Amino acid sequence: MARDGIELTDSQIAALERKASDDEACGEIETAHPGYLGSQDTFYVGNLKGVGRIYQQTSVDTYSKVAHCKLYVTKTLITAADLLNDRVLPFYESHGLPMLRILTEAPNTAVKWSSTITSFIWR
């Protein structure tokens, strides 16, 4: 920093080193190319009169940041698979790219998720 004409105190240097260490421990996911890793989640949008609860299924490619989403009236594994089958996989296939991995926040449903994906997407 001295080369930039900025002089830091010892406590400032220590704070920067702690910050760098925190950033490293909570680092970003590194991906190699589009389709390497998709992140999918469900968000509660709200309640529409006459319709009921509305949920948004969202899938984001962690490399390219391309996102796909759809609205649903249920929050199920079927709707998650529908988003992949209807929007995500066809998009990547049209560009000659496979979707290799999908990250979700549902670790307790991993077995159900796997069988749902197998049943509804790979037909």
CB 91 within 8 A of CB 68: yes
DSSP 65: -
**Single pTM value for the model:** 0.65
Whether residue 121 is predicted with pLDDT greater than 60 in this model: the reply is no
Cα–Cα distance measured from residue 33 to residue 37, given in angstroms and rounded to the nearest whole number: 8
Q: Is residue 50 domain-resident?
A: yes
Give the count of domains, the chain: 1
Residues in the chain: 123
Report how far residue 79's alpha carbon sits from residue 67's, in angstroms, rounded to the nearest whole number.
16
> Is 98 part of a structural domain of the chain?
yes
Residue 58, domain member (yes or no): yes
Residue 102's domain comprises 38-120
pLDDT digit string, tens, across residues 81-114? 999 999 999 999 999 999 998 888 765 544 455 5
Whether 13 is in a domain gets the answer no
Q: In this structure, is residue 6 part of a structural domain?
A: no
What average pLDDT does the structure give for the chain?
A: 82
97 assigned to some structural domain: yes
Q: Is residue 112 part of a domain?
A: yes
- When pLDDT is averaged across residues 58-76 and rounded to a whole number, the result is 94
